[in-house]
Amino acid sequence: MWVMVAGGALAALPAWAAEPKIGVVDFQRLAVESPQGKAVMESMRAEFAPRERTLQAQGQAMKAKEEKLQKDGATMSEDQRARAEKELRDGARDFERAKGEFQDDMNARRNEELSRLQRTIVEEVRTYGKAQGYDLILAQEGVVYNATASDITPAVLSALQARGGSAAPKAATPPAKPPAK
Protein backbone atom coordinates (compact mmCIF):
# COMPACT_ATOMS: atom_id res chain seq x y z
CA MET A 1 0.00 0.00 0.00
CA TRP A 2 2.83 2.42 0.88
CA VAL A 3 4.41 1.68 -2.48
CA MET A 4 1.25 2.83 -4.31
CA VAL A 5 1.06 6.05 -2.23
CA ALA A 6 4.75 6.77 -2.79
CA GLY A 7 4.38 6.07 -6.51
CA GLY A 8 1.42 8.47 -6.71
CA ALA A 9 3.39 11.13 -4.86
CA LEU A 10 6.37 10.72 -7.20
CA ALA A 11 4.12 10.98 -10.24
CA ALA A 12 2.68 14.24 -8.92
CA LEU A 13 6.10 15.61 -7.92
CA PRO A 14 6.91 17.42 -11.17
CA ALA A 15 3.58 19.29 -11.08
CA TRP A 16 4.16 20.91 -7.70
CA ALA A 17 7.94 20.88 -7.66
CA ALA A 18 8.24 23.23 -10.64
CA GLU A 19 8.96 26.76 -9.49
CA PRO A 20 6.44 29.31 -10.81
CA LYS A 21 7.82 32.18 -12.84
CA ILE A 22 6.81 35.40 -11.09
CA GLY A 23 7.51 38.95 -12.18
CA VAL A 24 6.98 42.36 -10.61
CA VAL A 25 6.28 45.51 -12.58
CA ASP A 26 6.30 49.18 -11.52
CA PHE A 27 3.28 50.68 -13.30
CA GLN A 28 4.09 54.20 -12.05
CA ARG A 29 7.54 54.06 -13.64
CA LEU A 30 6.07 52.76 -16.90
CA ALA A 31 3.50 55.57 -16.94
CA VAL A 32 6.18 58.22 -16.39
CA GLU A 33 9.06 56.87 -18.49
CA SER A 34 7.31 55.26 -21.45
CA PRO A 35 6.91 57.20 -24.70
CA GLN A 36 3.15 56.72 -24.35
CA GLY A 37 3.16 58.29 -20.88
CA LYS A 38 5.35 61.16 -22.01
CA ALA A 39 3.04 61.75 -24.99
CA VAL A 40 0.03 61.92 -22.66
CA MET A 41 1.72 64.47 -20.41
CA GLU A 42 2.85 66.61 -23.36
CA SER A 43 -0.62 66.45 -24.90
CA MET A 44 -2.16 67.58 -21.62
CA ARG A 45 0.30 70.47 -21.32
CA ALA A 46 -0.38 71.60 -24.87
CA GLU A 47 -4.15 71.32 -24.44
CA PHE A 48 -4.39 73.25 -21.19
CA ALA A 49 -1.52 75.75 -21.46
CA PRO A 50 -3.57 78.44 -23.28
CA ARG A 51 -6.32 78.37 -20.65
CA GLU A 52 -3.72 78.41 -17.88
CA ARG A 53 -2.05 81.48 -19.39
CA THR A 54 -5.46 83.18 -19.67
CA LEU A 55 -6.19 82.44 -16.01
CA GLN A 56 -2.78 83.78 -14.97
CA ALA A 57 -3.42 87.00 -16.91
CA GLN A 58 -6.88 87.27 -15.38
CA GLY A 59 -5.39 86.80 -11.89
CA GLN A 60 -2.79 89.48 -12.51
CA ALA A 61 -5.50 91.86 -13.76
CA MET A 62 -7.52 91.19 -10.60
CA LYS A 63 -4.48 91.91 -8.45
CA ALA A 64 -3.82 95.17 -10.32
CA LYS A 65 -7.46 96.28 -9.84
CA GLU A 66 -7.24 95.49 -6.13
CA GLU A 67 -4.00 97.46 -5.77
CA LYS A 68 -5.52 100.39 -7.68
CA LEU A 69 -8.55 100.39 -5.40
CA GLN A 70 -6.34 100.37 -2.31
CA LYS A 71 -4.17 103.14 -3.68
CA ASP A 72 -6.92 105.38 -5.08
CA GLY A 73 -9.76 104.43 -2.72
CA ALA A 74 -9.18 107.38 -0.38
CA THR A 75 -9.52 109.91 -3.21
CA MET A 76 -12.58 108.28 -4.85
CA SER A 77 -16.12 109.39 -4.22
CA GLU A 78 -18.32 106.98 -2.24
CA ASP A 79 -20.16 106.02 -5.45
CA GLN A 80 -16.92 105.40 -7.39
CA ARG A 81 -15.48 103.31 -4.55
CA ALA A 82 -18.67 101.23 -4.24
CA ARG A 83 -18.68 100.60 -8.01
CA ALA A 84 -14.98 99.63 -7.97
CA GLU A 85 -15.51 97.28 -5.00
CA LYS A 86 -18.50 95.63 -6.72
CA GLU A 87 -16.49 95.27 -9.91
CA LEU A 88 -13.66 93.70 -7.92
CA ARG A 89 -16.01 91.24 -6.13
CA ASP A 90 -17.70 90.27 -9.40
CA GLY A 91 -14.33 89.82 -11.08
CA ALA A 92 -13.03 87.72 -8.19
CA ARG A 93 -16.13 85.51 -8.32
CA ASP A 94 -15.76 85.05 -12.10
CA PHE A 95 -12.06 84.31 -11.68
CA GLU A 96 -12.70 81.67 -9.00
CA ARG A 97 -15.41 80.07 -11.14
CA ALA A 98 -13.08 79.98 -14.16
CA LYS A 99 -10.31 78.44 -12.03
CA GLY A 100 -12.70 75.78 -10.74
CA GLU A 101 -13.93 74.95 -14.25
CA PHE A 102 -10.35 74.77 -15.50
CA GLN A 103 -9.38 72.43 -12.66
CA ASP A 104 -12.46 70.23 -13.22
CA ASP A 105 -11.82 70.04 -16.98
CA MET A 106 -8.16 69.27 -16.48
CA ASN A 107 -8.86 66.56 -13.88
CA ALA A 108 -11.51 64.91 -16.07
CA ARG A 109 -9.21 64.94 -19.10
CA ARG A 110 -6.25 63.65 -17.09
CA ASN A 111 -8.33 60.79 -15.67
CA GLU A 112 -9.53 59.90 -19.16
CA GLU A 113 -6.00 59.90 -20.60
CA LEU A 114 -4.49 58.04 -17.65
CA SER A 115 -7.19 55.39 -17.89
CA ARG A 116 -6.37 54.86 -21.55
CA LEU A 117 -2.64 54.80 -20.78
CA GLN A 118 -3.21 52.28 -17.99
CA ARG A 119 -5.08 49.97 -20.37
CA THR A 120 -2.20 50.20 -22.85
CA ILE A 121 0.39 49.41 -20.18
CA VAL A 122 -1.63 46.53 -18.70
CA GLU A 123 -2.08 45.03 -22.17
CA GLU A 124 1.67 45.36 -22.84
CA VAL A 125 2.47 43.68 -19.49
CA ARG A 126 0.04 40.84 -20.32
CA THR A 127 1.51 40.41 -23.79
CA TYR A 128 5.03 40.43 -22.40
CA GLY A 129 4.17 38.05 -19.55
CA LYS A 130 2.51 35.58 -21.87
CA ALA A 131 5.33 35.74 -24.43
CA GLN A 132 8.00 35.24 -21.74
CA GLY A 133 6.17 32.43 -19.94
CA TYR A 134 5.34 34.15 -16.65
CA ASP A 135 2.84 32.45 -14.36
CA LEU A 136 2.17 35.57 -12.28
CA ILE A 137 2.98 39.26 -12.58
CA LEU A 138 2.41 41.52 -9.58
CA ALA A 139 2.21 45.30 -9.37
CA GLN A 140 5.16 46.82 -7.49
CA GLU A 141 2.75 48.92 -5.42
CA GLY A 142 1.27 45.81 -3.79
CA VAL A 143 4.54 43.98 -3.16
CA VAL A 144 6.30 44.24 0.18
CA TYR A 145 9.58 42.78 -1.08
CA ASN A 146 10.93 41.48 -4.34
CA ALA A 147 14.38 40.65 -5.59
CA THR A 148 15.46 42.84 -8.47
CA ALA A 149 15.72 39.71 -10.61
CA SER A 150 11.92 39.45 -10.63
CA ASP A 151 11.42 43.10 -11.69
CA ILE A 152 10.36 43.04 -15.33
CA THR A 153 9.71 46.80 -15.50
CA PRO A 154 12.84 47.54 -17.60
CA ALA A 155 11.91 44.83 -20.13
CA VAL A 156 8.29 46.04 -20.43
CA LEU A 157 9.55 49.63 -20.70
CA SER A 158 11.79 48.52 -23.58
CA ALA A 159 8.78 46.92 -25.27
CA LEU A 160 6.74 50.12 -24.84
CA GLN A 161 9.65 52.17 -26.20
CA ALA A 162 9.90 49.85 -29.19
CA ARG A 163 6.26 50.65 -29.92
CA GLY A 164 6.93 54.36 -29.59
CA GLY A 165 4.09 56.74 -28.78
CA SER A 166 1.30 54.56 -30.15
CA ALA A 167 -1.52 53.86 -27.71
CA ALA A 168 -2.86 50.65 -29.29
CA PRO A 169 -1.26 47.50 -27.87
CA LYS A 170 0.25 45.08 -30.34
CA ALA A 171 0.26 41.33 -30.06
CA ALA A 172 3.82 40.74 -31.26
CA THR A 173 6.44 39.28 -28.94
CA PRO A 174 8.39 42.02 -27.14
CA PRO A 175 12.06 42.34 -28.15
CA ALA A 176 13.52 42.39 -24.61
CA LYS A 177 14.17 39.37 -22.40
CA PRO A 178 13.56 39.40 -18.65
CA PRO A 179 16.53 39.80 -16.31
CA ALA A 180 18.12 36.52 -15.19
CA LYS A 181 16.98 35.11 -11.85
The per-residue pLDDT for 167 is 52
Contact 67, 84 (CB under 8 A): no
The per-residue pLDDT for 93 is 96
**In the 8-state DSSP scheme, what is residue 173?**
P
Q: What is the pTM of this model?
A: 0.67
pLDDT in tens, the chain (181 residues): 433 433 444 444 445 457 889 999 999 999 999 999 999 999 999 999 999 999 999 999 999 989 988 898 888 889 988 999 999 999 999 999 999 999 999 999 999 999 999 999 999 999 999 999 999 999 988 887 777 778 899 999 999 999 886 554 443 344 444 444 4
Q: Could you read off the pLDDT of 70-117 as tens digits, one per residue?
A: 898 888 889 988 999 999 999 999 999 999 999 999 999 999 999 999
Contact 159, 35 (CB under 8 A): no
Helices 35-72 and 153-163 cross at an angle (nearest 10°) of 80
Contact 58, 145 (CB under 8 A): no
Domains along the sequence of the chain with CATH: 16-163 (3.30.910.20)
